[in-house]
Amino acid sequence: MRNIPMVDLKGQYDRIKPEIDQALASVIDSTIFIGGGNVRNFTDRLAEYLQVNHVIPCANGTDALQIALMALDLKPGDEVITTPFTFVATAEVIALLRLKPVFVDVNPCTFMIDEYRIEQAITEKTRCIIPVHLFGQASNMEAIMQIAERHQIKVIEDNAQAIGADFKFSDGRHQKLGTIGDIGTTSFFPSKNLGAYGDGGAIFTNDDELAAKLRMICNHGSKVRYYHAEIGVNSRLDAMQAAILNVKLGHLPDYNNRRLAAADFYDAQLKDVPGVTVPKRAKYSTHVFHQYTLILEQNRDEVVQALKEKGISTGVYYPVPLHLQEAYRGDGYKMGDFPVAEQLSKKVISLPMHTELTEETQLFIVDELKKALQLKNDLITK
């Protein structure tokens, strides 16, 4: 039986092995494992690529979000608006800091926080909005920044899934995601579009003062060694990960193009299949397809199982919206509060999506998907 994974990090490594091996050997040879030239070099190049003034490295994408929130000097009970249809980290850090996550339902086409519903959720306690650029394209940052300005609240972009994607403003300007809000965050988890060989993360800002504060928080709240102005954390990107990321950053445009080509191919094969909705692409954003996520009108779980039996991995991102998670129900949320996110959680399925997909593999996946759907539809009509 074939074994088709969601991501193929081995195949990707094989193509850049000499570069990676050499970069790692040089870190070990230098014995500078924390900080140093490799970390600086990588963050400088990433800042250049993203066209942002400051890239602050940290240990992972969850820390990046937490440190971003810590830098805004919020008080317990302050409200932070975000989406219920995201990875748990986004809401987790809000709750961890004794802030209140306030969820807003998502747009059924883009899966992003619905900008038309944000203002209804704003109260005198709202301090921040965290839009998540889910699956590789943008939340509507132009609308969100206008709302934030009107209400004098901050914006933190969770860009763990869309590094390299562009936002297109209505005046024609382009800007990389993660650099539009007051602060942006990302994750270098191995399966992300720019993935390390371990954990890593980064925080972006164009604001010099915020940058200084973010750096200080990452480093135990200290600017001068052993003097601590604030309560901080220990969150670092290590030199080995930085060296690997430095190599992979050079390939990121190619990686994102490969994902886009794979998505185009899936689209062409699947766009006319009944009961299947291929991913909608927002006009205001390019798409770097961190995930290729379909909506299946029926039998999603049975299709997942049928594909599994053929050796094809799929993902369900996300099976339970955050307001219905045990940990987040305390705030009085209940089934029915966010019907779009709830419906999506029952209908979405993500197909294998990575930089090493071949058309032959994709055709096999598409074929088996069609068979699985056919089978299930037959069962229903009988």
Ligand X SMILES: *Cc1c(COP(=O)(O)O)cnc(C)c1O
Residues near ligand X (CB under 6 A) are 60-62, 86-87, 89-90, 132, 158, 160-161, 187, 189, 199, 201
- How many residues make up the chain in this entry? 382
CB of 82 to ligand X, least distance (A): 10
Name the DSSP class of 234: B
Q: Which residue lies nearer to ligand X by CB, 202 or 270?
A: 202
Name the residue number minimizing CB distance to ligand X.
61
d(CA 29, CA 27) in angstroms, rounded, equals: 5
d(CA 155, CA 374) in angstroms, rounded, equals: 45
Q: Give which of 37, 18, 58 is closest to 247, Cα–Cα.
A: 18
Q: Give which of 291, 6, 268 is closest to 137, Cα–Cα.
A: 291
CB of 281 to ligand X, least distance (A): 19
d(CA 359, CA 249) in angstroms, rounded, equals: 25
Q: Which residue lies nearer to ligand X by CB, 62 or 293?
A: 62
Q: Which residue lies nearer to ligand X by CB, 20 or 132?
A: 132
Q: Which residue lies nearer to ligand X by CB, 129 or 160?
A: 160
CB of 87 to ligand X, least distance (A): 4
CB of 379 to ligand X, least distance (A): 34
CB of 63 to ligand X, least distance (A): 7
Q: Which residue lies nearer to ligand X by CB, 62 or 362?
A: 62
Q: Which residue lies nearer to ligand X by CB, 132 or 144?
A: 132
d(CA 376, CA 303) in angstroms, rounded, equals: 8
**Contact residues for 250 (Cβ-Cβ < 8 A; gap 6+):** none
Which amino acid type is present at position 131? P
- C-beta of residue 174 within 8 angstroms of C-beta of residue 149: no
The shares of helix, strand and coil residues in the chain, as percent rounded to the nearest 5, are 45, 15, 40
CB of 187 to ligand X, least distance (A): 3
Question: Phi then psi for 250, rounded to 5 degrees?
Answer: -60, -25
Q: Which residue lies nearer to ligand X by CB, 127 or 192?
A: 192
Lookup: tokens for 245: 């990321």
d(CA 113, CA 83) in angstroms, rounded, equals: 5
Q: Are strands 174-176 and 222-224 parallel, antiparallel or unpaired?
A: unpaired
Q: Which residue lies nearer to ligand X by CB, 163 or 243?
A: 163
CB of 154 to ligand X, least distance (A): 18
CB of 172 to ligand X, least distance (A): 28
d(CA 80, CA 181) in angstroms, rounded, equals: 14
